[in-house]
Amino acid sequence: MKLGVLVSGRGSNLEAILEAERRGALGPGRVAVVVSSRPFVRAVDLARAAGKPTVVVDHRGFDGREAFEDAVLAALHEHGVEAVALAGFMRILTPRFLGAFAPGRVLNIHPSLLPAFPGAHAHRDVLAAGARVTGATVHLVSAGVDQGAIVTQASVPVYPDDDEARLAARVLTAEHRIFPRALRWLAEGRLELLAGGSRVRVLPPEPERTLADRYANLHAGPLLAARAEARAIAHVAASLGRPVVAVSACLLGQRCRWDGEDRRDDGVLARVAGAEVLPICPEVLAGFGIPRPAMELDAQGVMRRLDSGADVSASALAGAEAAALLVREAGARRALLKQKSPSCGTRVVRQGGTGALVPGQGLLARALDAAGVTLSAEDDA
């Protein structure tokens, strides 16, 4: 979902949103454009430094609110914006502006626990009232200032020796946590409007799928399907925030068509404990749906089928490339590979027909090595 972020000043919330996008924590949300109502502010510098299209619509240059809003809307439409985040945007928006977006698609962050302490001096008002708790609120923008339906809140303590600056800094850390999260829910389509849009329910996420689940649905041989899957895996990996280790699928207990063994290498499992595991197998990725026939390796390392003489090295190579792509996109820095297989293999492979041990072709090992992934082999020779 394409987001437009409206700013007017310091831009620390914008910074948190951009950082979340970079980490993959905005889900399908993408900042398509940043619009500032003021020139020469830090938010504009931040947006430009992040490489985002940035438009300054200086409100002082416009005759009236409508003309100003039309210029903002033109910038948002030009970049295909579907939803808007007000991140320290200091202008009040009219119903006409809000009507340009689907209901529930314009969100604001406010530095208090609404409906308490609306307005431009929330921290000052909190201190004057002697409140012990305050916080931050993400809410839908409606015609009334700071009055739209609440999406999410975080509370923050107020200490006796607080002044406005100290309190604002504490609240700001909460803002930076909840605003990107709310935008992610929005982009994921998880904000349900209730009671005519006066309340919001956050729907639960789709059940989280592990990398292994995703891999199980991958029947694709060709590189193209792997590429789409790889992007999805990269996204899951980023959101899990755990290190990803690629492991030959057969070492995790999947049946290997090459040597018919059902392997489950507990030593390997112990080495990847605590990491998210990406099972890889070039044969599966190359679309071999049949038991693998006997092969031999010629002196140049080309694999040949012994029975028909058909050369399958091209599809094995495609599988190895697809696997390397998965590994790279999933962000895995390490891979544990099986040794005895022409496609994965790192060291030796039993030659079809003769049973002799010959050096493995190591298509996958080579592809991963080229991608800068650290390889280790299972321990038995």
Helix (H, G, I), strand (E, B) or coil at 137: strand
Minimum separation from the CB atom of position 43 to ligand GRF (A): 6
Residue 12 binding ligand GRF, by CB under 6 A: yes
Residue 10 binding ligand GRF, by CB under 6 A: yes
Among 344, 165, 178, 163, smallest CA distance to 249 is for 344
C-beta closer to ligand GRF: residue 44 or 281: 44
Of the listed 59, 110, 176, 235, which one is catalytic? 110
Minimum separation from the CB atom of position 97 to ligand GRF (A): 17
Q: Beta strands of the chain (E only): which ranges? A: 2-7, 30-36, 54-56, 83-86, 106-110, 133-140, 150-157, 191-194, 199-202, 244-248, 276-280, 295-297, 303-305, 334-337, 348-350, 357-359, 374-377
* Binding mask of the shown chain, residues 52 to 91, with x at each position contacting ligand GRF by CB under 6 A: -----------------------------------xx---
C-beta closer to ligand GRF: residue 110 or 334: 110
- 79 flagged as catalytic: no
DSSP state of 104: T
Cβ atoms of residues 306 and 355 within 8 Å: no
Helix (H, G, I), strand (E, B) or coil at 299: coil
C-beta closer to ligand GRF: residue 12 or 346: 12
Q: Please tell me the distance from the alpha carbon of residue 345 to that of residue 369, in angstroms, as a whole number.
A: 12
Residue selected from 29, 111, 221, 362 as contacting ligand GRF according to rule CB under 6 A: 111
Minimum separation from the CB atom of position 343 to ligand GRF (A): 51
Minimum separation from the CB atom of position 251 to ligand GRF (A): 48
DSSP state of 112: S
Residue 282 binding ligand GRF, by CB under 6 A: no
C-beta closer to ligand GRF: residue 6 or 256: 6
Backbone angles phi, psi at 269, to 5 degrees: -60, -40
DSSP state of 322: H
Residue 29 binding ligand GRF, by CB under 6 A: no
Q: Which residues bind to ligand GRF, rule: CB under 6 A?
A: 9-13, 43, 87-88, 109-111, 172, 175
